[in-house]
Structure 1
Amino acid sequence: MSDPIVMRSLDEIQFWSRIMKEHALFLSLGFTYEQNKLIEEAQQFITLFERIEEKLARFTVNSDLRQIQAFNSEVYQAAVAIWSYKRKVLGLTLRCEIQSNNYPLLIDHISREAAYFANRIKDLNEGKLSPEPDTIIQENLFFLRIMADHSKFIGHLLDPSERKLVEQAREFSHDFDQLVFQAVDLDSMRPQSETVPILDQFLDQNRVSVVSLRDFKKTARDLIEACRIKSNIHPLLADHTFREAERFLEIIDLFETHLSRLNQ
């Protein structure tokens, strides 16, 4: 029988290694030509995560737990390294030592995702699999903020003449900002496992909003790929944000399954 830690580790690495590789690509595309050292570093991270993907392909859900833990440690180091690189770029940007086409919020956004990835791998290597109520709220808070950021990036990267789409993006930004504040309030209340109905309602509300945003991102992605709307959004970036919304929905499913077991 497959070890749940092995299965979860492989799933996290498969999803987030691709995300990290794409982050490096997006950063490199946003740098100016004279920032060649930063571009080279970004390309090194692309290579690093490609190698991780190649190693990942050698494992299966029946792989030995100790081998997976060793691989997790290697991936953890890579995630920490790209987090450090992103924070360095953010620092250079905030101090106006470089000017690029990478928004400071975008750099902070992708560094938060690198930290999340590193922490997930660390938790799995420590045998932490089942979420606690506090974890459920915190993870939703993390992803709600990610979705709010995506909405803002989309609105700013669409051509201003795409007025209807820009307005839709702004509405999503406002919606997810409100959900972030709700999650902060709920986190401060610290509901325990016996208050499962509150968490159920919290997840249901989040799901409705994420499904709407996911569908909007899918439409935008398809239109961008078909060159039917005007924007500065790379087709891969459009798909990237769509996949992260899909990931959030998968995590909501996992949490709802966990809560239903507690309720039995």
Structure 2
Amino acid sequence: MANAFVARSLDEVRFWSRIMKEHSLFLRLGFRAEDTQLINEANQFYALFENIQNRSMAFTLDTDPQVIVRFNSEVHNAVSHIWVFKRKILGLILTCQLPGANNFPLLVDHTSREANYFRNRLDELNNGKLEPLPDAIIDENVFFLRIMADHAKFISHLLDPSERKLVDMANEFSQDFDQLLFQARDIDSMRPQSQTAPILTQFLDQNRVSVKSLRDFKKTASDLISACKIKSIIHPLLADHVFREAERFLFIIDMFEQHLTGTPVTMRDLEEH
């Protein structure tokens, strides 16, 4: 159990600290030149999470669990601060105090939801209170389906309007994931009666098909952006960022299905992800 706690903690911190670091960069790129205080704060968060990411790589599965508990608490504190920063930015945008800036309100809200998800996971790990499998399956899918729907919308709005085919494809993914999210919320509201193995298995299978398609679309878009073959204002790192989050969702779906079917989930699964 101690090794499982360490493996799960390191997996979460390594993945999400990189995401938080990149959020800091994306937000900074969306500020105006005169927003020097916000730019400085974003730079400080970038350095903070880069440090956390680097330190997390020095730990191994043999690290004392108590060391990881303390590290998780430190990371939780950092994530709480960047969550406050993101909500402050959202408030400034929605009250028209950053006219001409280039951060969509939904994008800022999106990044704050991911920060809240991360700190809640750290709380659960340190308190040893991870959700029961049926609840986790529904809650994780509700969370990530909305994230995927957001990504499709961001891609659509950041592509040049002349990229008509790609814009149409992104819009189709947005509609698909909106529908999947509505279905997930229906299953959520039917709890606990909806939490049967057949229903949850079908739920995961259906979501996997759409997530794989979106993941492949993101990979193609990322490659095209890196090769300067399409017109957009999408930063190459942002394209890779949303691709990695789709990969993360697929990993989580696979882990859930392994649990449902009784296939053991090994420490190697967590360490190699």
TM range (shorter): over 0.9
Measure how far apart 1:131 and its partner are. Answer: 3.8
| Unpaired runs of at least 5, structure 2 | 264-273
Q: What residue identity is the alignment partner of 1:51? A: N
Check if 1:153 corresponds to 2:135. no
Structure 1 position 193, deviation (Å): 8.6
Judge conservation of contact 1:141–1:184 (CA < 8 Å) in 2: yes
Aligned equivalent of 2:17:
17
1:1-264 to structure 2, matched below 5 A, reads: 3-99=3-99, 100-129=101-130, 131-191=132-192, 195-261=196-262
Find the aligned partners of 2:211 and 2:132 in 1 and give their Cα distance: 21
* CA distance in structure 2 between the aligned counterparts of 1:188 and 1:57, rounded to whole angstroms: 39
CA contact (8 A) 2:187 2:194 kept: no
C-alpha displacement of 1:128: 3.0
Is the Cα–Cα contact under 8 Å of residues 131 and 255 in structure 1 kept in the other structure?
no
Offset at residue 231 of structure 1 (A): 0.2
3-state DSSP of counterpart to 1:3: helix
Is the CA contact 1:200–1:259 (under 8 Å) kept in the aligned structure 2?
Answer: yes
- Give the distance between the partners of 2:168 and 2:68, measured in 1 at CA: 46
Q: Please state how far the C-alpha of 1:134 moved relative to its aligned partner.
A: 1.9
Amino acid at match of 1:13: V
Number of aligned residues: 262
Deviation at 1:67, TM superposition (A): 0.5
Q: Are the counterparts in 2 of residues 109 and 149 from structure 1 also a CA contact under 8 Å?
A: yes
Deviations 1:64-123 (A, max 9, x none): 110000000001111111111000000011011112100000000000000000011110
Say what the alpha-carbon RMSD is for the aligned residues: 1.4
For the residues of structure 2 that align with 1:55 and 1:7, how far apart are their CA atoms? 15
Q: 1:56 to 1:194 in 2, by over 3 A?
A: closer
Note if contact 1:133-1:192 (Cα within 8 Å) is conserved in structure 2: no
Q: TM-score, normalised by structure 2?
A: 0.93
Contact 1:5 1:129 in 2 (8 A): no
Aligned mates of 1:7, 1:192 — CA distance in 2: 32
Asked if structure 2 preserves the Cα contact closer than 8 Å seen for 1:158 and 1:166, the reply is yes
- Mapped contact 1:90–1:104 kept (Cα < 8 A): yes
Change (3 A) 1:228 1:131: farther
Identity %: 68
Distance 2:195 2:78 in 1: 38
The Cα of 1:125 is off from its aligned counterpart by 0.5
Structure 2 Cα separation of the partners of residues 246 and 143 of structure 1: 11
SS of the residue 2:225 aligns to: helix
Question: Larger deviation: 175-184 or 130-139?
Answer: 130-139
